[in-house]
Amino acid sequence: MDNEQADLILMEIEDHMSKTVEILKKEFAAVRTGRANPALLDKISISYYGVDTPLKQISSIAVVEGNQLFIKPFDKSTLKAIEHAIHASDLGLNPINDGVGIRLILPSLNEQRRKELVKEVEKMGEHARVSVRNVRRDGNDHIKRLALSEDDEKGYHEDVQELTDKFIKKVDEEIAIKSQELLKIN
């Protein structure tokens, strides 16, 4: 019975670690690389009939050119609110309202800004590594509380460490991919 619980704990650990990597990928998608990506606008919400609504739910967002996004709201009365939300965000972009939609032109990044963004990506990655290690610690604590034989407990702790190593490696790979993407000049 206790081995079944330990197996469930292992599955739970893997699930939590996997979610940590997925969250990291979403955070990385919001980091601006100089190329237009609709994911940049994922954090932007506007008040639509009194409800905070994500921008992507009330408009279509298209990549017009490599460095340009076009936001076309389904309801034109939201143009000003969308424009204001983009100004208020930390994206540092100037929306151009043409009466039909909003155009965002992403300036190319200079070398210093690229390096700053790489540091930010590495910081996000370190937070993900810490999350993975916290999941490991919690999982090991749960396994210790089970009445397992010493050999079984040691085996499960080794399994947890293997999962930890696997997901730390995935985090490192994601950091490397995003860092290269940022340093690559378009």
Q: Do residues 60 and 9 share a domain?
A: no
pTM, full prediction: 0.70
Q: Do residues 173 and 119 share a domain?
A: yes
Domain enclosing residue 172, as ranges: 2-30+110-183
Distance from C-alpha of 1 to C-alpha of 57, rounded to nearest angstrom: 47
Find the CATH number of the domain harbouring 8: 1.10.132.20
Q: Do residues 7 and 42 share a domain?
A: no
Residue where a domain stops, chosen among 51, 73, 105? 105
Closest-CA residue to 56 (of 69, 70, 38, 32): 38
Q: Do residues 114 and 101 share a domain?
A: no
Q: Do residues 53 and 7 share a domain?
A: no
Q: Do residues 90 and 120 share a domain?
A: no
Q: Is 49 left (phi over 0), alpha (psi -120 to 50) or beta?
A: left
Buried/exposed code over 146-173 (b: 16+ C-beta within 10 A; e: otherwise)? bebeeeebeebbebbeebbeebbebbee
Q: Do residues 101 and 115 share a domain?
A: no
Q: Do residues 145 and 160 share a domain?
A: yes
Residue where a domain stops, chosen among 89, 105, 121? 105
Q: Do residues 136 and 171 share a domain?
A: yes
Q: What is the tens place of the pLDDT at every residue in 66-114?
A: 788 898 999 888 888 888 888 888 777 888 888 889 998 887 777 887 8
| Burial of residue 18 (number of CB atoms within 10 Å: 0-12, 13-18, 19+) | middle
pLDDT of 175: 94
Domain count, the chain: 2
Q: Do residues 164 and 121 share a domain?
A: yes
pLDDT of 33: 67
**Any idea what DSSP says for residue 67?**
T
Q: What is the tens place of the pLDDT at every residue in 109-144?
A: 778 878 888 898 999 999 999 999 999 999 999 999
Q: Do residues 16 and 80 share a domain?
A: no
Contact between 62 and 72 (Cβ < 8 Å): yes
Q: Do residues 124 and 173 share a domain?
A: yes
Closest-CA residue to 37 (of 66, 59, 16): 66
pLDDT of 185: 64
**Virtual CA dihedral for 77, 80, 83, 87, nearest 10 degrees?**
-150
Q: What is the tens place of the pLDDT at every residue in 12-56?
A: 999 999 999 999 998 887 776 667 778 888 888 888 888 888 888
Find the CATH number of the domain harbouring 51: 3.30.1360.40
Residue where a domain stops, chosen among 72, 105, 138? 105
